[in-house]
A and B are shown apart, each in its own frame.
Chain A
Amino acid sequence: MDLPLTFWNWLLAFLPVLIVVVMMLAFRWGGSRAGGLGWFLAIFVAILSFGAGFKLLAVAQVKAVLLSLDVLFIIWSALLLFNISREAGAIRMIGITLPRLTGDRVMQSLLIGWLMVSFIQGLGGFGVPVAVCAPMLVGLGYTPIQAVAMASLGDGWGVTFGSLGTSFQSLMAVTGLSYEELGPLSALLIGIASFPSGLLVSVIGNGWKSLKRALLPTLLLSIVMGVVQYLLVVNGLWTLGTTGASVVGLLVGFLLVRLPTFRNQAEDSEAVELPKDNKGNEKSLWLSLLGYEILVALAFVVNLVPSVKSFLSPVVLSLDFPEVSTRYGWVTLAGPGREINLFAHPGAILLYSCIISYIIYRRIGYLEKGALKKIFGNVLKSGVNSSLGILAMVGVASIMMHSGMTFLLAEGLSVSFSREVYPGIAPFIGALGAFITGSNTNSNVLFGVLQQNAAELLNLSVPLILAAQTAGGSLGSVLAPAKVIVGSSTVGLAGEEGAVMRKILGYGLITIVTVAVAAVVISFIGEW
């Protein structure tokens, strides 16, 4: 790119992101309004300072809509499944049943806000784990803002090896390195990040005074999950890194709450009456959660049985895009945009779960007549606001990527720091990319090669810098406005995402700083 890297150009490139964050945090604007303002700024800066033309902006916007549709398919289906399950009593049942298992608020928050969130992240991402688990936390008595913040931070460590490893796959694809080269250090840094993630879930839910009580179980669980994830990744099973680790974490977690120290059953928990079905019988927890049980089973079958996946994959929606470039020579090559595999898409799997669970819930009397109208009404109310926010945010990210603004931002960061400091900066570059685009995968695609080049120029370990990139991207993606909008949609916070952002940004930085420090220490030890 011919555009010189100056502080002024860097600041202009940063302006759309800055305005979105400021409007959401300081003025408490919702995601759609703040994203819309960021969109206008991104267009002005792209045209006036980065030499973007009409064709480039149009292509960027169409690609943004295609990417948004990919995400919106998941959001609308997740909202539908959540509302069907809520009407069937799932959220209320968790609120009643979990305190019977353990009255310890720290363990309750860790089980749902950290371990369950990570398990769902293992199967599919883009805010779905938060959208699913935040209402469960509300059912346990946490405020909606606390619930979204807890689930978001609990989710952060699991993104790179979650969603069947798509983010890690993208890092390998763009850098040309294998899992043997990238896996060990990536798993190590992410394993380290799981510890502060778990601790912060407890702190947000139960205050700083809970830190002492949370320390031991969180340390034990993060070591267990970190080791399991490391072993899976270095043995080539990186697609199951988060899933395997969180399954073992959940098992250990349920064993822990059997211990007298953590059982601490609430005295009045048995006295709360369980909701009843249409026939007057008490509802069962497992039947109430049927929608999510079907989702987990279908996700496993569709993703892990190749014949099922190929059977469901004949219809793929995509568009071919022409090559576009800015006046300063930043080129985006021609090629297909986001491909949407209509029947094997995570949104489709959620939709199948909705249909099957609705039929069963109706047959066993867990849903009343007329429930469907209420369900659709609630889905529409949350879905429209969130969708407008996603469209605007993804539009900002796409315009910034196509006009070279995102690249300039990362380039500025990578050349401003010395060799000794750079391992600590790399996670922040990864986090920045994920914050802007809402995706660890996109951050790796955008900045993977840049970080690789920077590591080679500075004579640093390439696998370490790339591990820091993806770990930062993983932790930064859950702080992204686009993801916060999705997470907020199921707890009645649509339009109030700014309040959630205020809550999570500071805490989120703690997790990224932990990875940064770990990367600097590993780099230092490696040289020593």
Chain B
Amino acid sequence: MEEEKFLKVGLKEKIILLVLQVMLPFVMYIAIDREIQPLGIAAAILLTVSMLVLVVFG
């Protein structure tokens, strides 16, 4: 029997991941440019989580 995935990443979820992976680096750029460190770290964490979701459940 095929193991059921805890989280299924379908087309809608992949679109969300794609938008996040395109937008978040630009947030990091703004954070570097204006020296807003917490914003940069938050964007980096979110980006890492989005990539982790893709690798584990994609």
Which positions in A face B, CB cutoff 8 Å? Answer: 30, 32-33, 36-37, 39-40, 54-55, 57-59, 61-62, 64-65, 68-69, 319, 322, 380-381, 384-385, 387-388, 391-392
Contacts and interface: CB of A to CB of B under 8 A. Distances in A.
Nearest to B14: A384
Interface in B3-43: 11, 14-15, 17-18, 21-22, 25-26, 28-29, 31-32, 40-41
Interface of B: 11, 14-15, 17-18, 21-22, 25-26, 28-29, 31-32, 40-41, 44, 47, 51-52, 54-55, 58
Contacts of B17: 388
A61 B54 contact: no
Contacts, number: 65
8 contacts: A32-B54, A36-B58, A55-B32, A64-B25, A65-B22, A322-B32, A380-B15, A392-B54
B54 to A, nearest CB: 5
Contact of A65 (B11, B14, B26, B32): B26
A493 to B, nearest CB: 16
Contacts of A385: 14
A175 B34 CA distance: 36
A70 to B, nearest CB: 12
B54 A36 contact: yes
Contacts of A33: 54-55, 58
Given A54-B40, A58-B44, A37 B55 contact: yes
B25 A381 contact: no
Nearest to A68: B22
Nearest to B21: A391
Contact of A391 (B11, B22, B29, B41): B22
Contacts of B32: 55, 58-59, 322
Contact of A61 (B11, B28, B52): B28
Given A32-B54, A39-B51, A62 B18 contact: no
Contact of A62 (B14, B28, B54, B58): B28
A452 B21 CA distance: 37
A392 B52 CA distance: 11
B22 A69 contact: yes
B25 A32 contact: no
